[in-house]
Amino acid sequence: MKINAAPHSVVLLFVFLAITQFSVAGEDKPKYATVTNAQAVEMLDAIEKDIKDNYYDPKLHGFDLKAKFDETRIKIATAQSQDEAFLMIAAAVNALNDSHTRFEPPTRPYTVEYGFITEAVGDSACYIKAVLAGSDAEAQGLKPGDQIVSINGVPLLRENLNSVEFAYRVFPQSGFHLVVRSTDGPQRALTVRAQVTPGQKMISGFDLTYWLKTHRSYDEWKKFYNMDNQSRTFDVDKKVLFWQLNSFTVDPRDLEEQADKARNYPFVVLDLRGNHGGFAVAVEDLLDEFSDHQSTVWTVQTRKESKPKIVKGRGKRAVDGKLIVLIDAESASAAELFARTVQLQKRGTILGDRSSGQVMEAESFRHAVYITGRDVTQYGVEISMANAIMPDGKSLEGVGVTPDERILPTPADLAAHRDPVLARAAALAGVEMSPERAGTLFPFKWPEKPHEMK
């Protein structure tokens, strides 16, 4: 999760969300209070130590971590539920205002499917990107292209979208009160219920070490992250290869295979829209494939040192076709590093929307807390371990990548599944393609796991 808002506003937003939680008349609140307030304070203590000992900037940018966490301990003492306590922990961590430093709450004994996915377009507004067939969101008439004006009373804007979505992952809801504005009608209010499915198993404390070991195999990682299904390609007359890369959490062999294919085309359109990043080594490998010489792509700034990141290039084997890279407000982390490197090295053209500005290298620190005499639940914190300083001396954190051509889909484009960005890329490659046709190349695929917010 990346937070671009100011620390004070983020904390206020999290507190507001805790107060304005969704409820349904005549329906009992779900009872999932398995962690006590005292245990929540213990969780906060462990997270504070993790951040203090491991954050890439030991001075924390001047942020008073102790004061903030002391204040949060007092608040947790009077929390009315487990979820409220978790939201307070999340707010304390997010007050550091770092995109990759965030609370990782315990897995709940249920999954939540909200039935719609939201994306920011441009500098402010947020729109419905997709609606799940058969969901209550669909039954209530929610459609792609609808602007979400507010969610549970909170105005929804690009600058707080990630905060709101993350808050509802920490504090799951049984539904939302929305105010939406459709492309073909007036602003309206509606209530959308989520689908809550029980089923998450608890982990025995005696089995925790074994469980961790058995879930760290490469095959488990590939399955969990759906690593075999991150690339899709489409070619036009052996002239243009359109390559959609959904994530950099990908099998390196897949990148190599697609790069081998790309070597045969005079134009390559690499679609990184919606790509939230992934493995640092993957983006380095991809930059290698598109470079014929060695270069320093950025400097990795860690707690102890600053070290140049060097890609060697592939020499005569490099993909030498003209490169066009597509990004949007959801493009983050490794996707942003790739796009900005291409831009600075003048290796290609960047099209689309300004990227998210969430560029850090992070690691997760995991802990466990007993919730019964024998069962435990895991929690943790993701911590930024390094920042990337580009050759121009700047970081992309909180800034993002500004495309060479900023092209934004309209609400009508979203509703009709038109893709003016991909159509423009095709035109630059000398191929005639309408936005309607472009919208069919890579049809949206609903996530295999319930969409619980990012």
Query: Residue range 236-249: average pLDDT?
Result: 94
More confident site: 239 or 108: 239
**Cα Rg for the chain, rounded, in angstroms?**
22
Closest C-alpha to 76, from 100, 109, 47, 55: 47
Would you say residue 406 has pLDDT above 50? yes
The proportion of the chain whose per-residue pLDDT surpasses 70, expressed as a percent, equals 85
Average pLDDT over residues 212-233: 65
Cα angle value 123/100/405 (rounded, 5°) = 30
Judged against a pLDDT cut of 90, whether residue 21 lies above it is answered with no
What is the spatial distance between Cα 450 and Cα 280, in angstroms, rounded to a whole number? 26
Per-residue pLDDT at 105 exceeds 70: yes
Calpha distance 53→95 (Å, rounded): 17
Listed range (101-115, 222-236, 322-336) with the worst mean pLDDT: 222-236
**What's the average model confidence in pLDDT over 58-68?**
97
Whole-number pLDDT of residue 453: 38
Please write the tens of the pLDDT for every residue from 256-279: 999 999 999 999 999 999 999 998
Check residues 328 and 218 and name the one with the higher pLDDT.
328
Label residue 451 by pLDDT band (50, 70, 90): very low
How long, in residues, is the chain?
454
Comparing 17-26, 106-115, 235-244, 433-442, the range with the smallest average pLDDT is 17-26
Choose the weakest-confidence range: 190-194, 225-229, 362-366, 407-411: 225-229
pLDDT at 445 over 80: yes
pLDDT by residue (tens digit) across 285-311? 999 999 999 999 999 999 999 999 999
**What distance in Å separates the CA atoms of residue 225 and residue 218, rounded to the nearest whole number?**
11
Using 50, 70 and 90 to split pLDDT, how confident is the model at 11?
very low
pLDDT (mean) for 299-325 = 96
Tell me what pLDDT residue 370 has: 84
Domain ranges (residues) in the chain: 220-363+386-438
Give CATH for domain 220-363+386-438. Answer: 3.90.226.10
pLDDT value at 227 more than 90: no
User: Residue range 114-132: average pLDDT?
Assistant: 95
At 71, list the tokens.
């204040």
Q: pTM (2 decimals)?
A: 0.88
Residue 42: closest CA among 85, 87, 99, 78: 85
Give the helix ranges, DSSP H, for 263-391.
280-289, 334-344
Average pLDDT, the chain: 87
Q: What pLDDT was estimated at residue 377? A: 82
Region 149-164 average pLDDT = 94
Alpha-carbon span 115 to 142, nearest angstrom: 10
Distance CA 245, CA 249 (A): 10
| Whether residue 30 has pLDDT greater than 50 | no
Average pLDDT over every residue of 85-97: 96
Residue 432 has pLDDT above 90, yes or no: yes
Whole-number pLDDT of residue 19: 45
> Regarding predicted confidence, which is higher, 177 or 109?
177
pLDDT band at 14 (very low <50, low <70, confident <90, very high): low
Judge whether 421 and 351 are in contact, CB under 8 Å: yes
Confidence of residue 375 (pLDDT cuts 50, 70, 90): confident
Q: What's the confidence (pLDDT) of residue 25?
A: 34
